[in-house]
Structure 1
Amino acid sequence: MRSGVLHLRDRIDLGHGRAERITGLRVAHRGSLTARPTAGAGQIAVVQGLTTARVGDVVGPRLPGDERASQFPPPSYETVVDAAPEARGRLYSALSELAEQDPLIRVRRRDEEITVSLYGEVQREVLAAILQREHGVEARFGEVRTARTERLTGVGHALEVKKQDGNEFLATIGLRVEPAPVGSGVTFELECERGSMPPAFFDATEDTVRRSLAGGPLRYPVPDARVVMTHSGYAPRQSHMHQKFNKAMSSTGADFRGLAPRVLAAAVRRAGTVVCEPVHRFVIELPDDAVGAVTSLVGRLGGVPFESGLAGPGVAVVRGEIPAGVIATLQRDLPGLTHGEGVCQTEHDRFEPVREVVRQ
């Protein structure tokens, strides 16, 4: 705790639409953990109830100079992971458990395909070893590829009404999707009356929307969006005396979980998206007589060298930005252009629309 006070039963905001209630507090005191009703600045505490919290999350307002929110940049690469048919269930469970423990591991599942986001080849090798050693799963990793996302370019709305136009679900859902600032995450809001149907149906819709956007209703995830539920409707539970519950005439959460992805995908298509790829900043130290050749290579690969200068006698430094997907090509060709003396460092900066460039 750096500032403020946490109280038992407080409901706190973890960002990106996640809010959790504190169900237990144990404060470190003289070498042990003691149950307390509060935890204040300067104390270390175990907080229970934060089921969606992840390593790196910051609770409460950030203090001046606090850069922790950016200490884990999004992964720039991803790969498909598979295992023998009898081990696929254990594979997903193991990856999900590892992702909860390690913010550098991000897992998503779409249909039967499991995708893991990575920071590089070394992490893939480490992950394979952990799965084998600690979970007994022999994982097969596909080719590492650039992790892309989609950004909404406009506003889109879609609506499906129960028992109309081929809607086989006993649910009415209307969704409007709008672009949101980069890094703001997904927000879900209501324009329809909250009392118009049971809260569980709203919760089922929101949970499904968030999962669908994280996995991508189209090909890639949509990390930032404002989603507004504009219409809702359901078939009330049958309550005739001596009658059993009739699923064919009464809505359940499954109706909303089944319909929401379809309405969401239609709204996203109408809004339009642009596919984005990670762009990295780079710093290259190299002999000064190789600057021209290296900046030319960076340009051919779709990068932008925007600064160069001397770092010492005969040594130059070039800075710029380059799409993550061609960094391997840059690193492969750099030694030949710099007499084996070039050194390149890169760091994730942002996502930008995919650039049409020569990929060698």
Structure 2
Amino acid sequence: MARTLNLGILAHVDAGKTSLTERLLHAAGAIDAVGSVDAGSTQTDTLDLERRRGITIRSAVASFAVGDVTVNLIDTPGHPDFVAEVERALGVLDGAVLVVSAVEGVQAQTRVLARALRRSGVPTVVFVNKVDRAGARADLALDDAALDDLPFVPLGAAEGAGTRAATWRAGLDGDRALDAVADHDDAVLAEYVRTGAVDEGRLRAALAALSRRGLLHAVLGGSAVTGAGVDDLLAALPELLPSADGDPDGPLSGRVFKVERGPAGERVASVRLWSGTLRERDRVGDDKVTAVRVVHRGAAVERAEAHAGQVAQVWGLAGVRVGDDLGAPHGTDGFRFSPPVLETVVVADEPGERAALHAALTQLAEQDPLIGLRLDDAGDAALSLYGEVQKEVVGATLAEEFGVAVSFRETTTFHVERPVGVGEAAERMGADGNPFNATVGLRVEPGPEGSGVRFRLGIEPGSLTLAFRRAVEETVVATLGQGLAGWQVTDCTVVLTESGYVPPPPYGWSIWSSSASDFRRLTPLVLMAALRRAGTTVLEPLHTLTLDAPADTLAAVLPLLAREDAVPLSTVTRGRRVVVEGEVPAAHLHRLHQQLPGATRGEGVLESRFARYRPVRGEVPRRRRRDGDPLHREEYLRSVGRQA
């Protein structure tokens, strides 16, 4: 029976993973010529911007065969600004190749990716690339990577490293392999104790089994440019990494990891199936599948159905978003990268293109749900981002794909607000100042950290119609996008404490009857009055940091951390290196990254990860609000067309 391996290739930017993808496709016979990143002729970098800049921005799927195994290869971005694309890919992989440069070695993003693979439970093979480049080290000390202390087992060695003629000589280091395997395989250990030796074939089989379980990393190497070692890697993939499993006759279970637009503007969802079969004309929620293509041996081929283990492109799912499960959810959400903590405002250069800008940004947000889009009635839009490169890509995409030229305001740090107490407010029909045919009472309560926004009823369920109840709940969530200081409000519970409406007369609707619009327009006034009585605190994002630097630079590193409001929590010396762990405000991370090379002779490596929010120290930052501010009653009522 044919097998499928859904494989990810991950690396720090410029480690050569897109070049390796090209070389693998060529070695497997899927393409006739090897594309070049520099020439912009690669198979997986399909966006003009990707080809021009030589970086991967969106995940792409290619396919090839190794014997009876179909490998669906997912080429992911390496730049930290596009880490959301990597996150989505991790959730659908069977195995991964982590590419490390033999010249630069293990870099900050390499470690972030390796730990993410470990936490996600994705079995991984390491490929040491660029052995032909000047400065390449044949004895790359992968143990120094400290990737969760997993053992590395080289399956060969580089010869002539640092020269164009460099090659990869395959071979098993028996002693090192035995040490690594015996720690996990009691049968191998017992055989060694009993006989004093373990057959190489037996040892290789045990090593492969442990690699497929993610308990150790096999290391291969070579050059994606010259092709050295690539055939060995290609042959080893089915042996060292697990194939997809799943019952095609079982219940449907799949996950959307990418959403694109087809030539006619239709949504096309890329789906990994773990169980069941997805057929043309099947109903998924409220949508019906209109077409299915299966990624198979070099191309997306139109099929009547897709089975468990396969990656499919699906048409007809109009309401689907990245991250949605089709059918039964698969496992747990697993590891998640840090949320974006930066925000910028994007403005159309031509005022007449505001509507086109909003439509384009809405479409981009469909493709990347971590682009936190906040539309502004004044014609502006705020975007949540990971970094400046991502901002440049958004601007270029808007200009090239949508024909909308834009400018960006200064990037700022994204804050949040949390209620500090309990606040209640109510507006009743017929009372002075309430021009709406609705009664709404709300109570705002602080919630546990990380709980988001919760809505619950404090009234009898039958005392308010479902349509009106939904109108209140949806409006509560939307209104809390801007708190007292303009930031998103989180970690709170909102309770509906009072309600009232005018039912339609027996003979039909009248102008005096209540409508959902009455509840939608009244709710913001009540909610913000309750929030004002509860009070909020503004919080800033805080990251944990791990700084690895030469020990003799510690005297320069500690003052640098102090200047950027970072707090060292531990300092450990490991030989000639020192590792400082601590916390730093996200707003200071960019400057810290810029100044670190100067303080550490370019040898310092800084890793950071979102940890939590903490109350802002000093002056509280405020965020410009949209029009129709319910904190200002008269202005708000004018904006919604009602006078008290």
TM-score, length basis structure 1: 0.80
Tell me which of 223, 245, 263 is aligned to 2:526. 263
Residues 268, 123 of structure 1: CA spacing in aligned structure 2 closer, same or farther, 3 A cutoff? same
Q: Deviations over 1:54-85 (max 9, x none)?
A: 4235686774xx453x4243211001111122
Tell me which of 316, 336, 344 is aligned to 2:598. 336
Residue in 1 that maps onto 2:535: 272
Q: Deviations over 1:206-256 (max 9, x none)?
A: 111111113446410013322111111112235569xxx543x22222211
Greater relative CO, 1 or 2 (CA 8 Å, sep 6+): 1
SS in 1 for 2:395: helix
CA contact (8 A) 1:72 1:103 kept: no
Identical columns (%): 45
Residue in 2 that maps onto 1:103: 369
Tell me which of 542, 547, 551 is aligned to 1:284. 547
Residue in 1 that maps onto 2:303: 32
CA distance in 1, matches of 2:317, 2:523: 28
CA contact (8 A) 1:188 1:228 kept: yes
SS in 2 for 1:341: coil
Residues 116, 154 of structure 1: CA spacing in aligned structure 2 closer, same or farther, 3 A cutoff? same
CA distance in 2, matches of 1:121, 1:208: 33
CA distance in 1, matches of 2:407, 2:590: 22
CA displacement at 1:110 relative to structure 2: 4.2
Residues 217, 91 of structure 1: CA spacing in aligned structure 2 closer, same or farther, 3 A cutoff? farther
Residues 104, 311 of structure 1: CA spacing in aligned structure 2 closer, same or farther, 3 A cutoff? farther
CA distance in 1, matches of 2:558, 2:330: 39
Q: Deviations over 1:27-66 (max 9, x none)?
A: 989973449xxx9x76878697783x64235686774xx4
Aligned-partner residue type, residue 261 of structure 1? P
1:78 aligns with 2:343: yes
1:304 aligns with 2:578: no
1:150-161 to structure 2, matched below 5 A, reads: 150-161=417-428
Aligned-partner residue type, residue 155 of structure 1? V
CA displacement at 1:6 relative to structure 2: 5.3
Deviates more, 1:96-105 or 1:335-344: 335-344
Tell me which of 281, 301, 318 is aligned to 2:580. 318
CA contact (8 A) 1:287 1:338 kept: yes
Aligned-partner residue type, residue 567 of structure 2? V
Residue in 2 that maps onto 1:147: 414
Residues 126, 290 of structure 1: CA spacing in aligned structure 2 closer, same or farther, 3 A cutoff? same
Aligned-partner residue type, residue 317 of structure 1? V
CA distance in 2, matches of 1:240, 1:326: 65
Residues 62, 34 of structure 1: CA spacing in aligned structure 2 closer, same or farther, 3 A cutoff? closer
Aligned-partner residue type, residue 254 of structure 1? S
Q: Deviations over 1:292-318 (max 9, x none)?
A: 3322332343221112223442x3222
Residues 109, 34 of structure 1: CA spacing in aligned structure 2 closer, same or farther, 3 A cutoff? same
CA contact (8 A) 2:342 2:414 kept: yes
1:181 aligns with 2:459: no
CA distance in 1, matches of 2:325, 2:401: 30
Aligned-partner residue type, residue 343 of structure 2? E
CA displacement at 1:141 relative to structure 2: 0.9
Residues 54, 73 of structure 1: CA spacing in aligned structure 2 closer, same or farther, 3 A cutoff? farther
Q: Deviations over 1:177-224 (max 9, x none)?
A: 222233332222112223323322111111111111134464100133
1:239-258 to structure 2, matched below 5 A, reads: 246-247=510-511, 249-258=512-521
Residues 34, 328 of structure 1: CA spacing in aligned structure 2 closer, same or farther, 3 A cutoff? closer
Q: Which runs of 5+ in 2 are unaligned?
A: 1-91, 93-245, 254-283, 297-301, 620-644
CA contact (8 A) 2:445 2:494 kept: yes
CA distance in 2, matches of 1:289, 1:334: 14
CA displacement at 1:328 relative to structure 2: 2.1
CA contact (8 A) 1:212 1:261 kept: yes
CA contact (8 A) 1:25 1:48 kept: yes
Residues 334, 50 of structure 1: CA spacing in aligned structure 2 closer, same or farther, 3 A cutoff? same
CA contact (8 A) 1:24 1:47 kept: no
Q: Deviations over 1:80-109 (max 9, x none)?
A: 111122111111111111111113311012
SS in 2 for 1:106: coil
Residue in 1 that maps onto 2:462: 195
Residue in 2 that maps onto 1:118: 385
CA contact (8 A) 1:306 1:320 kept: yes
CA contact (8 A) 1:160 1:167 kept: yes
Q: Which runs of 5+ in 1 are unaligned?
A: 8-20
SS in 1 for 2:488: coil
Residues 339, 58 of structure 1: CA spacing in aligned structure 2 closer, same or farther, 3 A cutoff? same
CA distance in 2, matches of 1:170, 1:217: 26
CA contact (8 A) 2:568 2:580 kept: yes
Deviates more, 1:328-337 or 1:259-268: 328-337
CA contact (8 A) 1:191 1:228 kept: yes
SS in 2 for 1:282: strand
Tell me which of 270, 286, 294 is aligned to 1:23. 286
CA displacement at 1:128 relative to structure 2: 0.5
Tell me how large the CA RMSD over aligned residues is. Answer: 3.2
Higher Cα Rg: structure 1 or 2? Answer: 2
SS in 1 for 2:429: coil
Residues 355, 57 of structure 1: CA spacing in aligned structure 2 closer, same or farther, 3 A cutoff? farther
CA displacement at 1:140 relative to structure 2: 1.3
- Number of equivalences: 331
Residues 216, 93 of structure 1: CA spacing in aligned structure 2 closer, same or farther, 3 A cutoff? farther
Residue in 1 that maps onto 2:404: 137
SS in 2 for 1:290: helix
Residue in 1 that maps onto 2:116: none
Aligned-partner residue type, residue 277 of structure 1? E
Residues 258, 49 of structure 1: CA spacing in aligned structure 2 closer, same or farther, 3 A cutoff? farther
CA contact (8 A) 2:420 2:537 kept: yes
Residues 343, 72 of structure 1: CA spacing in aligned structure 2 closer, same or farther, 3 A cutoff? closer
Q: Which has more strand, going by share of residues? A: 1
CA displacement at 1:326 relative to structure 2: 0.9
1:341-356 to structure 2, matched below 5 A, reads: 341-356=603-618
Residues 276, 203 of structure 1: CA spacing in aligned structure 2 closer, same or farther, 3 A cutoff? same
